Amino acid sequence: MEIVKIIGIGLVSLILIVIIKQYKPEFALYVSLGAGIIIILMVLDKLLGIIQLLTTLSQKAGINATYLSILLKITGIAILTEFGVSICKDAGETAVANKIEFGGKIIIISISIPIISALLEVIMQLIP
C-alpha cells in the first residue's frame, strides 16, 4: 500500500502549498521540492530491487552488463530530468524547464551512442 502513502504525502503537500501560497508564495516551492524528495526516498528501495532484478536477469540471459548500465543511466537521467522540469514548471519557470528537458534529451542521446552503434553493427551483419 505504498501508493496510498505516496498519494497522502502528495495531497498533504498540495494542501500546504495552497495555504502557503496565500501568505508566503516563495516557500511553496520548498514544500513541493520536499514532497518530491520524500517520495523519491520512499520508492528508492523499490528502485534498487528493480535494478538488482534486471542485473540478475541480464546475467542469466548473457546480455552485456555495459548495455544494462547504459539503460539504467538513461532511465535515471529521464526521471531526474522530469523531476527538475516539474519543479521549474511549479515555480512558473517554463523557459528553464524547457532547457532542462532539452539538456536531458541531449545527454540521453550521447549516452546511448554505444547501444546505437551496436545495433547498427548487428543490422549490418544481417544485411548481405
Give percent of the chain with pLDDT exceeding 90: 59
Q: What is the mean pLDDT of residues 58-74?
A: 89
Average pLDDT, the chain: 91
Q: Where do the domains of the chain lie?
A: 1-61, 64-128
Report the pLDDT value the prediction gives residue 25, as an integer from 0 to 100: 85
Helices 65-90 and 25-61 sit at what angle, rounded to 10 degrees?
Answer: 170
pLDDT in tens, 9-42: 999 999 999 999 899 888 988 998 899 899 999 9
Q: Which residues lie closer than 8 Å to 81 by C-beta, 6 or more apart? A: 100, 101, 103, 104, 105
Other C-beta atoms lying within 10 Å of the C-beta of residue 32: 19
